[in-house]
Structure 1
Amino acid sequence: MKKVIFLIFALISFFGTSTISATETSTSSNDRITKASETKDDPIAETSTQEQMENANPIPSAQEQEASTSPESDETVLAQKISLTSPVSELRVGKTTQLSVIIQPSNTTDQTYIYQSLTPQTATVDENGLVKALAGGEIIISVTTSNNVSAKIKLTAYNLIPVYRVYLPNILQHHYSVSQNEITTLVMQHTWQYETLSFFVQDRGSKPVYRLYLKGHNLHLWTMDENERNVLKSRGWQYEGIAWYNTNKGEPVYRAYSPTTKEHLYTSSLNEYNTITKTGVWKKEGIAWYSPEGEKPTNFPTQAILEQTQKNIKKREEDAKRKEEEAKKPKIGKPYYYSQWDGRWSANRFNSSTIGPSGCVPTSLAMILKGSYGMNLTPADVAARMDYYSGWAVGASGKDIIVTANSYGHSVEVVTSQGVAEQRLREGYPLIWLENVGIGHAVVSFGNNGGKTEVLDPYNRQFFNGWYDISYLWSKPSADPMDWDAGRPVFVIK
């Protein structure tokens, strides 16, 4: 019973409240309609109402609308990425390069960053990103933002070094080297000629120049072409490693090839390149690489190298001249041994005697004319002709030797010093010596081996047999006055 009474009371309370709220709402609406109708014909009142509405709900401007959608001005935007770039990847020692930085996003609040050289031994970097190379090697530079976002860049610092050129005419070969020690050794010890500082190269870089050698032909070759290097290796060339490095900037270094000598020549002189290839001996092969501009060293080549080069040139010229003179001379052979006591002519008359006891001079001259100069003569032939010229009762004199040799078309030099005798023997000429063996006696000598000469004694080798010091022969001249009638009795038969 109590539950029914409570439920009826709750329903009456609910519907009674709703009716009161609706009534209040209706009254409020009528009041607003009445006020509106009262002001409809009053412009002042209307304007006042509009201003009140605008003030109550103002329309936002475009700037205000943008501000309302943008982050507040004190909001921080952090760097998310930083990149570091350089206009070059290789930097010459002593030179600089300017680094560039890009921070992302672009509206990062704090745009500051710090540079640092991680290789202070090879390079420095200032607060503006200007890098200076101090020594050859790898350069590593880092850049870091205020919130520790960082990046690194690697460069190569290189030294510019000269390549020197030397030449050895004996084998018609040029050689190129960055090693001052190698150049010095070749010039001072092996008679190479220093020519020039040919071009400049790098001691580090990304473009290597390879050096190869062909044993047995004394040929070196330098190339940047890796394929050419590999092909030559397969054909027996010995790979000697990287000689130096180069860039694609600077003066061209030209390469020429000689089919005659199989040599390649490298030069930065366009005039030399054009001149040598006009002769037909060299053929153009184009640009081998490029040479950066550098400063010539003041301490190389040394004065000693330049002076030795001139000595090497002079000696080579003297050698060439001597060879030319030797080529003009008839081929001189070793004298053919004859004995004056040979039974075929020992009894032949010579002056008032015979060849056996008194024919040492014509027999000595016959040895030379037959063996050294290829004349088919015997002691008998020479003695008969010398007997015609000679006026001595026994034997023959220095003048008899000269006039008889001349009659066969050969000149005679009277030797005036031991040094001249040694030199003529060294040059391959045969000599007649009139020696003192108790009496004046003619012998022949040939060759010079360390100051010794081989002596051929026509008197059955009784007084001389074998090799003797030239100084000994020079100290034992004949004491017979007739032997000195043309001067000292030592004669070169030419």
Structure 2
Amino acid sequence: MAAQDSRIDTILQSPGSYPQALLEMLARDISLLEFALGFPEKQGNVYADSIGSAQKGQFPLLLQWDERWGYGPYGDSFLAISGCAPTALAMVAAGLTGDAGVTPYTIAQYAEQNGYYVPGQGTSWALMTEGCRQFGVQGEELALSEGAVMGALENGEPVICSMRPGDFTTKGHFIVLVGTEDGKIRVHDPNSIQRSSQLWSWAALEPQIKGLWAFHAL
């Protein structure tokens, strides 16, 4: 990393000022550098109560490590580190309701205060079928089949997936399938601009998916 950007030295000189999980994320993706550099001073703070803009039918790519909310606490960590599920649901809510006031931190707070965050494990799957109603959307569990997923996407229903270790994560992660293009699937990964910029085949995604839910507006 140091060869790519000399500012890495700031972090290397005081690694104890940064969560180990954040350092590991940075090692995998240099895009987090600006966020990581600000962590010692900004941790615990949230700087926005809106995602900026939202329009029905358009699902914005939101990142859990966005400086507007990524420093905010979530469970025993921070939104940037463990907030993939709230961030995924915020993308879905924005595109289905047009409400820009539902941020990843808004959902993270609700999840933590209402039992949808499990200490030591992360976000409960129940957020996708129960807690989501608080934000004007309903999730329905889908069968793990190409037909079910493609059918939902072609019907304008985004699909949130809980992922196994693989292309998207080393432990566990949530991503959003937002549409199709040329027979492949457009993915919004709340932890990666790069992975969100490419199209994915069902064959590549299917073995990595643990659970999935299609969403519609209430």
TM-score range, shorter chain: 0.5 to 0.7
The alpha-carbon deviation at position 493 of structure 1 amounts to: 1.3
Distance 1:410 1:371, change over 3 A: closer
**Superimposed CA distance per residue, residues 417-469 of structure 1 (whole angstroms, 9 cap, x where no aligned partner):** 31111110111111111112221111111112343111111113355532111
| Separation (CA, whole Å) in 1 of partners of 2:64 and 2:96 | 18
| Separation (CA, whole Å) in 1 of partners of 2:182 and 2:140 | 23
| Separation (CA, whole Å) in 1 of partners of 2:127 and 2:69 | 20
Are 1:403 and 2:130 counterparts? yes
Name 1:141's counterpart in structure 2.
none
Structure (1/2) with the larger strand percentage: 1
Greater Cα offset, 349-358 or 445-454: 445-454
Name 1:392's counterpart in structure 2.
118
| Separation (CA, whole Å) in 2 of partners of 1:384 and 1:462 | 28
The alpha-carbon deviation at position 406 of structure 1 amounts to: 1.6
| Separation (CA, whole Å) in 2 of partners of 1:391 and 1:348 | 15
Contact 1:433 1:442 in 2 (8 A): yes
TM-score, length-scaled by structure 1 = 0.30
Structure (1/2) with the larger helix percentage: 2
1:493 to 205, 215, 218: 215
Are 1:433 and 2:164 counterparts? no
**Superimposed CA distance per residue, residues 357-405 of structure 1 (whole angstroms, 9 cap, x where no aligned partner):** 0000000100111133201211111111111222401421211222221
RMSD: 1.9
Are 1:343 and 2:67 counterparts? yes
Name 2:199's counterpart in structure 1.
467
| Separation (CA, whole Å) in 2 of partners of 1:391 and 1:446 | 25
Name 1:247's counterpart in structure 2.
none
Name 1:417's counterpart in structure 2.
144
DSSP-derived class of the 1:383 partner: helix
The alpha-carbon deviation at position 351 of structure 1 amounts to: 1.4
Q: For structure 1, list consecutive stretches of 5 or more residues without a partner in the other structure.
A: 1-330, 479-488
Q: For structure 2, list consecutive stretches of 5 or more residues without a partner in the other structure.
A: 1-54
DSSP-derived class of the 1:363 partner: helix
The alpha-carbon deviation at position 413 of structure 1 amounts to: 1.1
DSSP-derived class of the 1:411 partner: strand
Amino acid at match of 1:467: L
| Separation (CA, whole Å) in 2 of partners of 1:429 and 1:391 | 25
Are 1:357 and 2:89 counterparts? no
Contact 1:340 1:460 in 2 (8 A): no
Name 1:455's counterpart in structure 2.
187
Larger Rg: 1
Contact 1:332 1:429 in 2 (8 A): no
Name 2:39's counterpart in structure 1.
none
| Separation (CA, whole Å) in 2 of partners of 1:470 and 1:373 | 27
Distance 1:459 1:356, change over 3 A: same
| Separation (CA, whole Å) in 2 of partners of 1:450 and 1:386 | 36
Distance 1:334 1:423, change over 3 A: same
Moved over 3 A (4+): 462-465
| Separation (CA, whole Å) in 2 of partners of 1:474 and 1:386 | 27
Amino acid at match of 2:78: T
| Separation (CA, whole Å) in 2 of partners of 1:462 and 1:388 | 32
| Separation (CA, whole Å) in 2 of partners of 1:474 and 1:466 | 16
Are 1:366 and 2:95 counterparts? no
Contact 1:444 1:455 in 2 (8 A): yes
TM-score, length-scaled by structure 2 = 0.65
Amino acid at match of 1:421: V
**Superimposed CA distance per residue, residues 27-79 of structure 1 (whole angstroms, 9 cap, x where no aligned partner):** xxxxxxxxxxxxxxxxxxxxxxxxxxxxxxxxxxxxxxxxxxxxxxxxxxxxx
**Superimposed CA distance per residue, residues 190-231 of structure 1 (whole angstroms, 9 cap, x where no aligned partner):** xxxxxxxxxxxxxxxxxxxxxxxxxxxxxxxxxxxxxxxxxx
Distance 1:332 1:344, change over 3 A: closer
Name 1:442's counterpart in structure 2.
174
Contact 1:434 1:490 in 2 (8 A): yes
Distance 1:435 1:464, change over 3 A: farther
Aligned-residue identity in percent: 26
